[in-house]
Amino acid sequence: MDVAKQVASSPNALDKVAIANSFAKNSAYVGYAINQSIQLGLIMEDGNGAYIPSDKYRDMLYRCQKSQLLTILTKALQGYPPFLVYSDFVSKGYSSEDSARMSVGMFGIQSTFEIVEKMFRNWGQKSGLIILDSSGKVCIPEGEKGLPDQYIESLKKALKADFQAKIFLIETMTPSAFKYLTEHEGDIDSLADALVNYHDDPKTSVGKATQVFEHFLYHFGLDAGANVSKGNGIIQYAETIKSEKPTAMLVKHKHLCYGLGGLRLMSHHDPDKETNKSWYFTPQGAIITSLMVPSVIRSLHLYSSEGKQEF
The CATH number of the domain holding residue 140 is 1.10.10
User: Which residue, of 39, 63, 87, is where some domain finishes?
Assistant: 63
| Residue 22 exposed, middle or buried by CB count within 10 Å (0-12, 13-18, 19+) | middle
Q: From CA 94, how far away is CA 178, in angstroms rounded?
A: 19
Which range marks the domain in which residue 58 is found?
2-63
Asked if the structure places residue 162 within a domain, the reply is no
Asked if the structure places residue 68 within a domain, the reply is no
Per-residue pLDDT of 111-132, as tens digits, reads 888 989 999 999 999 888 888 8
Asked if the structure places residue 300 within a domain, the reply is yes
pLDDT band at 145; cut points 50, 70, 90: very low
Let me know whether 282 and 242 are in one domain.
yes
pLDDT band at 143; cut points 50, 70, 90: very low
Among candidate residues 88, 69, 49, the one with its CA nearest the CA of residue 8: 69
**Higher pLDDT, residue 221 or 62:** 221
CATH code for the domain of 50? 1.10.10.10
pLDDT band at 303; cut points 50, 70, 90: very high
Residue range 224-232: average pLDDT?
Answer: 93
Asked if the structure places residue 156 within a domain, the reply is no
Per-residue pLDDT of 192-214, as tens digits, reads 999 988 998 999 999 999 999 99
Sequence-distant (≥ 6) Cβ neighbours of residue 29 within 8 angstroms: 23
Q: Which helix (H) or strand (E) holds 14?
A: strand 14-15
Let me know whether 89 and 140 are in one domain.
yes
Asked if the structure places residue 159 within a domain, the reply is no
User: Which residue, of 63, 94, 116, is where some domain finishes?
Assistant: 63
Per-residue pLDDT of 41-92, as tens digits, reads 999 999 888 999 998 888 889 888 888 888 889 889 988 999 999 999 998 8
Q: Which helix (H) or strand (E) holds 161?
A: helix 150-173
Let me know whether 179 and 256 are in one domain.
yes
Count CB atoms within 10 A of the CB of residue 187: 16
Please count the structural domains in the chain: 3
Q: From CA 179, how far away is CA 183, in angstroms rounded?
A: 6
